[in-house]
Chain A
Amino acid sequence: SQQGEEDPQALSIQEGENATMNCSYKTSINNLQWYRQNSGRGLVHLILIRSNEREKHSGRLRVTLDTSKKSSSLLITASRAADTASYFCATDAGGATNKLIFGTGTLLAVQP
């Protein structure tokens, strides 16, 4: 079963605009990761934020984490047509395994 839910399920924006995706999860986590998936490149790791961090940046990506609300957001600034893809958040399950539990994903379409 999925750990989290992503919101919105689908998002369509114009090139140059910012895109914000949200992720909610259910249990305590060690860290949360964001992945991108498109047909050309498969599932690609974007960024990892640990439970003791509140915000992290990587290029045009900004991730926030609020462990009290069990939620995270991914902001993509100055979007490009090449950013068109599905975006997933994934949380680690903790314990003795390192498995990831993925959300349901947000389908982002960036119109040129």
Chain B
Amino acid sequence: GAGVSQSPRYKVAKRGQDVALRCDPISGHVSLFWYQQALGQGPEFLTYFQNEAQLDKSGLPSDRFFAERPEGSVSTLKIQRTQQEDSAVYLCASSLALLAGVGTDTQYFGPGTRLTVL
């Protein structure tokens, strides 16, 4: 079946521009995660949704970052007034996990969006 898809795959933005990154999770997956991966580093958690509810946004680096999942399926990560330090690969993952806190279910990752801020 189809995996997690993300668009665009590459995005170049001028400093100060707003960007929107899209994630289509695996159909039926309740949990959705966004991670940020800087060059040469492991992914770092940004935010987590269970259906349409954003249960954890502790990893969002500033109030310029905003994520939503209004119908509990597709999610959008928006970055306002982009800065050079926002340059990274943004990864989306989904999992079937039905009950938070029980223990992590396998997360399936999309290919990521590589954002370059000039």
Residue ranges of A at the interface with B (Cβ–Cβ < 8 Å): 1-2, 30-31, 33, 35, 42-45, 48, 50, 88, 90, 92-105
Alpha-carbon gap, A17 to B109, bound state (A): 29
- Contacting A at CB under 8 A, from B62-106, are 91, 93, 95, 97, 100-101, 103-106
Bound CA span A88–B33, Å: 17
B91, A102: Cβ atoms under 8 Å?
A: no
Binding site for A on B (CB under 8 A): 31, 33, 35, 41-45, 48, 55-56, 59, 91, 93, 95, 97, 100-101, 103-112
Assess whether B104 is in contact with A98, with CB atoms less than 8 Å apart. Answer: yes
Set of chain A residues within 8 Å of B59, measured between Cβ atoms? 99
State the Cβ distance, A20 to closest chain B Cβ, in Å: 19
Considering the complex, give the chain B residue whose CB is closest to the CB of A97.
Answer: B56
